[in-house]
Amino acid sequence: MNTKEIKSKFNSLFGSELRVYTSPGRVNLIGEHTDYNGGFVFPGAIDKGIYAAINPNGTGRIRAYSMDYNALSEFGMTEADAPREPWARYIFGVVREMQKRGFEPKGFDTVFAGDVPLGAGMSSSAALESTFANALNDIFDLGIDRFELARIGQSTEHNYCGVKCGIMDQFASVFGKEGHLMRLNCATMEFEYFPFNPKGYKVVLLDTVVKHELASSAYNKRRESCENACAHIKTKHQEVNYLSDATMSMLDEVKDEISNEDYMRAKYVIGERQRVLDVCAALERGDYETVGDRMYGTHHGMSKEYEVSCEELDYLNDIAKECGVTGSRVMGGGFGGCTINLVKEGLYDKFIATAKEKFNAKFGHEPKVYDVVISDGARRLE
C-alpha cells in the first residue's frame, strides 16, 4: 500500500510530525478453531495489512481518523470514554489493555487505512490491534515484549469487541516472517518458523464476498461447546487442561454426558490437532499431496462437524476438488470469507477461470482472487 495518502491526510488534520507503522493480516494454512482450545496453529503473515501515521499530541486524548470509513473519532483514555464507533473501539481497547498491565501510553493523533480485505477471514482486526500495540510501545518506549503485544490485541477482542478469540491472529500479525509459516503451540506459546516456498505450487485465496451475520455469536457458542466437552473429559483425566490435550477415546468416554452438538465440535478439534502435525511433517519432506489432503480434511470437519462453513464456501471447495486442486479449505472463523487453495501452477489459470464462471452462475457474482505472499510482521516503516 502506498502510504503517501495516509501521510497527506495526517498532515492536513494534525501537522507534519509523524511516524508510520504497519502490521499484516494473516493466512492460516491449517489449524482452525484450535487456538482457543490449546492446540497448534500454522499461520503466516501476508503482504496486506493496516498502515497508520501516528504522533503524540501531548494531551490525554486520542484523535483517530479512519480513511476506510472516512470518519474521525475523538475520545479519552478512561473506561467511561469508550467510543461508539466499532472501528475506534479496537484502538481504545489496545490503550486500555496496556493501562491494565501498568503501562502508560499518552494521547496521540493517528490516521490509518488498510488493504486487508474486510470480512475475508484474513484478520484485519488483529492487524489493526497489532499496528497500534506495536506503535504505542515504540513511540512511548513502554518496553512491552512481543508476546505481550499479541496478548494485548487478543484481550482487546475479548473485552472491547465481544469476540472470545484465541491468540493466533495477533501472534501471526506480530511475529510474521517473510517466506515462513509459524507453528505455534497455543497452550505453551512455543513456536518455530517453517520455510514455506512450495515450488511448483501457488497459494491463492478465493473470497466469497459474503459474511453471514451470526459469525461472532456462533463463534462464542462453539467455544462454549469445546469448554464443556473439555470439562467433562477432565473429570476423568486430570491431565487434560485443553481440549487439544484429549484423544478421541477420551471424548468417546463422555459421549453420553454431553450433547451431540458438543461432541461433534470436540471431535473436529481433536482431529484438527493431528492434521496440523501431519502437515508440519509433510512440509519437512516436501510432500504437498499430504498437505492438500489434510486441508480437504479440515474443510470437511469445519463444514460437517464444527458447522462454520456455508453454501458459498462448500461450493468453492467442491469446484477445487473437481479441478484437481491439491488442497482447499475454508479459512478463518467461517460463515463466509475465503477458501485457501494449494494449486499446482499448471492448473492455476483453469481453476481460477472455472471458479469465477461457476460461482457467478450460481450466486450472481464472482469470487475475489488474492494471491498469497508471506510477509513480515508488525514494524515501523519510517
Q: Please list the active-site residues.
A: 169
| Beta partners for residue 374, in sequence order | 46
Give whole-number Cα distances, 261 to 14, 232, 255, 264, in Å: 53, 14, 10, 5
Distance CA 48, CA 113 (A): 11
Pair 331, 120: CB distance under 8 Å: no
Which residue in 380, 378, 335 sits closest to 129, CA to CA?
Answer: 378
Eight-state DSSP code of residue 64: E
The residue whose grid cell reads 495489512 is 49
Question: What whole-number distance in Å separates Cα of residue 134 and Cα of residue 115?
Answer: 18
What residues have CB less than 8 Å from 311, skipping those under 6 apart?
none
Distance CA 49, CA 20 (A): 13
The residues facing 336 across adjacent strands are 211
- Residue from 220, 221, 223, 25 nearest 119 by CA: 25
Checking DSSP bridges between strand 180-185 and strand 40-41, what pairing results, if any?
Answer: antiparallel
Instruction: Quickly list H helices, the chain.
Output: 4-14, 86-100, 124-139, 146-156, 168-175, 215-236, 248-253, 260-284, 288-300, 311-322, 345-363
User: Residue 368 corresponds to which amino acid?
Assistant: K
C-alpha–C-alpha distance, residues 257 and 249, integer Å: 14
What single-letter amino acid sits at 73? S
CA angle 236, 237, 240 (to 5 degrees): 135
Task: Tell me the CA distances in angstroms from 46 to 169, 286, 374, one per residue in order.
Answer: 12, 22, 5
